[in-house]
Structure 1
């Protein structure tokens, strides 16, 4: 039986706290992060598909937050295999649009109920048989766990590819909807100095490496979208689309500098999208908005 979403979100956050501990004032996931200032320059290639203001031809400012996925703000960088890159575009009308990516292209469950169930299993410190039963019950989770297991040691925020996981709809002037998946592709894909830094200082090397990287100039990413077809699932964040789908580059993000201080009051809710973009009925995408709200409320209260 499907549970009430706000109550399910509270249960999810409670379980995360039970598993990873409570860290007052921090996010319940991706607690350790670095804010940066950026400029996004669209190239107009998205215009046939969407009227979204930041995807036309005018530059917009953006705030970027790189992060470890762990709920523990003191987590050793090397031990947090999944990293995040959240972008908040500052729109011309004063509003904002969010794009939240991680270094894994699929999520671990297709429903929030299954996600909470897996958290419940993890809370009990499962043995091999418990994990086997979990994978049998939720076979769609195997792809994400396999990717995470095979992930190489993370070297640098600036050289990684980030996936916003969920499908969104682009909506054009005629009201036509085009399903898309986003990807952030880095201009730089290798950094020997960062690899050495990771080996010597595994606890907190990412922020130090990023600071030194900015001395060389901006960090750049291309924003691309994969154009979905009628047969592609749009409401299942565990499912990847065929590799032969058309991909187009729609803009360029130039991250200028690290912000030494930033109020922790930004909520990178992935469902905050502008006119010209629509959320799909992906239940995990919708659920994230509720979970982020619970996390933010506790942060504000210093819990």
Structure 2
């Protein structure tokens, strides 16, 4: 999918043309339709109209757009971000949990994206309580592993319907330019897990940089080993850099996260360890709002090191057209029954289709 759009972008930038400009963009539109169908087929949605995601995804994307208004051409969540390029150095230890080729000893190329949550691509970095990291591992056997992680180990709600309700509660009031505190309080009264999430973020202030935050899968996944043994796992990316909370002075720069990332990378690569935490009896497998206790006897496997070498602006960087769908998984990693996973996959596809369609419409008017 990403390669197709990279190719189309190169054609556009090179001045490639057909006898008719209309034909030129018609071909791009057909390509988007074909990609959408392929995406829907791979996600098991065949039977849905080609350009429509399941109803829950449509509702989620509509709710995102209603939160701060429509920003055409941008992702409906995590709209503000920066592309990164690097690789994953697998030490082979993860192979005892999963037969996925990404865990075999060796090096796997990675394209990723740091971002802050939200629908507004111009939001000030200091307003966010979280940092996010999405990655695409180019697995040697031709497969892919995509993951989208947050800097909190839990999510704020358990189901897609609850998430739509949460977005509605945080919708910006046109009169004040801010969400209505009473509406948020009423939502949290009905959803104590959302209040617990807010309390977690209050006790764990946002990091001063992208590179000194840990990032979590939040949901559990089923890892299948070469001998067929399966166990549920949550993973995290733990940084070599020491965590430091953001300060008030740092927040004065609305784009401090990207500025500091580029400056730090100019001095050398950044590293995180991929830690696989294995579920124990009683751990929540299908509820992303519940944390797994950090007990001393929990099996934790350091599977290798993520190395980030460089960063590029998202407007034309290699992450621009990558949809970091968490259900794009290699053989050996399977989704759990967490209801958020299927909803996230569908929502990412709907968001991807809308922003790519907007780019085509914009380009056709130029």
TM over 0.5: yes
Counterpart among 321, 329, 337 of residue 265 in structure 1: 321
Q: Give the match for residue 250 of structure 1.
A: 303
Which range moves more in the overlay, 98-107 or 129-138? 129-138
CA contact (8 A) 1:85 1:102 kept: yes
Flag the 1:151–1:110 CA change in 2: closer, same or farther, 3 A. Answer: same
CA contact (8 A) 1:184 1:221 kept: yes
Counterpart among 133, 150, 154 of residue 186 in structure 2: 133
Q: Distance in 1 between matches of 2:311 and 2:188?
A: 40
What's the CA shift string for 1:178-232, capped at 9, x where partnerless?
111101100011579x869725x42111111111101211000000011102321
Q: CA deviation at 1:252?
A: 0.4
Q: Mind listing any 5+ residue stretches in structure 1 that lack a counterpart?
A: none
Which structure has the greater CA radius of gyration? 2
Q: Give the match for residue 210 of structure 2.
A: 157
Which range moves more in the overlay, 45-54 or 251-260? 251-260
Q: Mind listing any 5+ residue stretches in structure 2 that lack a counterpart?
A: 1-47, 174-178, 360-366
Q: CA deviation at 1:135?
A: 2.1
**Structure 1 residue 74 corresponds to structure 2 residue 125:** no
Q: CA deviation at 1:292?
A: 0.5
Q: CA deviation at 1:123?
A: 3.1
Q: Secondary structure at the match of 1:158?
A: coil
What's the CA shift string for 1:1-41, capped at 9, x where partnerless?
xxx98112111111111111111110011111111111101
Q: Give the match for residue 24 of structure 2.
A: none
Q: Distance in 1 between matches of 2:63 and 2:234?
A: 30
- CA-atom RMSD, angstroms? 2.2
Q: Give the match for residue 169 of structure 1.
A: 222
TM-score by length of 2: 0.76
Q: CA deviation at 1:299?
A: 0.6
**Structure 1 residue 219 corresponds to structure 2 residue 266:** no
What's the CA shift string for 1:228-271, capped at 9, x where partnerless?
02321110010111211222211101111113542521000011
Q: Secondary structure at the match of 2:305?
A: strand
Q: Secondary structure at the match of 1:302?
A: helix
**1:81-96 alignment to 2 at 5 Å?**
81-96=129-144
Q: CA deviation at 1:131?
A: 3.3
TM-score by length of 1: 0.92
What's the CA shift string for 1:150-187, capped at 9, x where partnerless?
44253111111111101011101221111111011000
Q: Give the match for residue 301 of structure 1.
A: 357
**Structure 1 residue 147 corresponds to structure 2 residue 200:** yes
Counterpart among 97, 109, 114 of residue 145 in structure 2: 97
CA contact (8 A) 1:197 1:209 kept: no
